[in-house]
Amino acid sequence: MANANYAYPSNSAQLFQHLQKQLLTFYTVYGGESLLAIEAADSIRIKARQNGYIEREIFTIDNQFSGSDLRLRGNSLSLFGEQRIMDLRVPSGKPGKEGSKAIEEYCCSLPPDTVTLVTLPQIEKKDKTTKWFKTLENMGPMISVSMVERNQLPDWIGQRLSIKNQRTTPDTLQFFAEKVEGNLLAADQEIKKLALLYPPGTLSFTQVKDAVLEVARYDVFKLSDAMVTGDIPRYTLVLKGLQGEGTATPLILTILAAQIRSLIMIRKGLNSGRPFTQLMNEAKVWGIRQKTMETAARRLGKKLLVDALLHTTKIDKISKGVAKGDTWDEFVQLGLRFTFKKN
């Protein structure tokens, strides 16, 4: 149970400092920034393993969840008599009636020799007043993983580079942030790539530009170009290649959604008679891509584009486990939308 005299860590930075000194038996990690949530949860699991909690059991709790298995496993001894981690995941943030009851019952009778880790997405204000959430609050640290705002991203990238003993100029950090479109998973991949490509020290703009735009990310831009031109054979070919390479779906989704938003802005501007050059500057479309985007914006109707943007929201929910479906199949269906002309 929570100790009123102990200041629990409340964010990921405090959590990492806390884990250097001790390990408690109950943690909840929640928030909408997937990379930071994954890192926070992983740090708890790693500390638990270092302290002898070897066995691990995972339960996914949703509105179809039956608490009988959780009660059985919670009340039973570890299979090999070892300390264990109980990994309780609520991907939608809404455990449902039975799931809520199971969480409350579990917290009332915690199993011995066990570290419990509960992971949740961003929780709505009204859900924070529910009995099951209040129960979790009383059990131990609630680690809130906040979103990194767009204007904070250059500094965040700079801090991550410094961990790798690398640094670069503010202008280059701004370029870096714009290219990853606010996606921390994508940014983290590129930072790790830079650490592999270049030694510690100062990175030039050219080094960062070449690394961030090479291979996988270039293929994602190929995918977005094939999408807006309605070239479905090329689109599906590149998509399969990205899937085979294990490219993170949030990165793909971020770039496709950004392309669609640009098309919507350009289409609205063309409809209202705004200057073409001004529209392209605002959409940050340069060179030969200007003609491609103008052609697509004139060919594709506003309703089609808005529906496509809503489709990316559906894909995002599926990729996070909030909605049912196959993420890669939905990417194909999204591409097919651009083969038709609608007003």
The model's confidence at residue 301, banded by pLDDT at 50, 70 and 90, is: confident
pLDDT average, residue stretch 248-273: 89
Which regions of the chain does DSSP assign to beta strands (E)?
26-31, 53-60, 83-89, 114-120, 142-145, 166-167, 201-202
pLDDT of residue 80: 54
Question: In whole angstroms, how far apart are CA 49 and each of 52, 115, 333?
Answer: 5, 10, 42
Q: Give 130-182 pLDDT, tens digit per residue.
A: 999 999 999 999 999 988 887 889 999 999 999 999 999 999 999 888 777 67
Burial of residue 117 (number of CB atoms within 10 Å: 0-12, 13-18, 19+): buried
Burial of residue 233 (number of CB atoms within 10 Å: 0-12, 13-18, 19+): exposed
pLDDT of residue 4: 45
Q: What are the residue boundaries of the structural domains of the chain, listed by start?
A: 12-145, 150-212, 215-337
Q: Which of 175, 157, 183, 259 is nearest to 213 (CA)?
A: 175
Tell the CATH topology of 12-145: Rossmann fold (3.40.50)
pLDDT at 45 over 70: yes
Question: In whole angstroms, how far apart are CA 87 and each of 31, 53, 118?
Answer: 17, 12, 6
Q: Give 189-225 pLDDT, tens digit per residue.
A: 889 889 888 889 999 998 898 777 643 444 788 888 8
Backbone φ and ψ for 238, nearest 5 degrees, come out as -65, -40
Q: Which CATH number fits the domain 150-212, given the four candidates 3.40.50.1860, 1.10.8.60, 1.10.760.10, 3.40.50.720?
A: 1.10.8.60
Give the SS3 label for residue 42.
helix
Question: Over pLDDT 90: what percentage of the chain?
Answer: 40
Q: Are 156 and 180 in contact (CB under 8 A)?
A: no
Distance CA 113, CA 84 (A): 7
Residues making up the chain, counted from first to last: 343
Backbone φ and ψ for 142, nearest 5 degrees, come out as -110, 105
The model's confidence at residue 227, banded by pLDDT at 50, 70 and 90, is: very high
The model's confidence at residue 76, banded by pLDDT at 50, 70 and 90, is: low
Token pair 């714009």: residue: 178
Distance CA 24, CA 99 (A): 24
CATH class of 215-337: mainly alpha
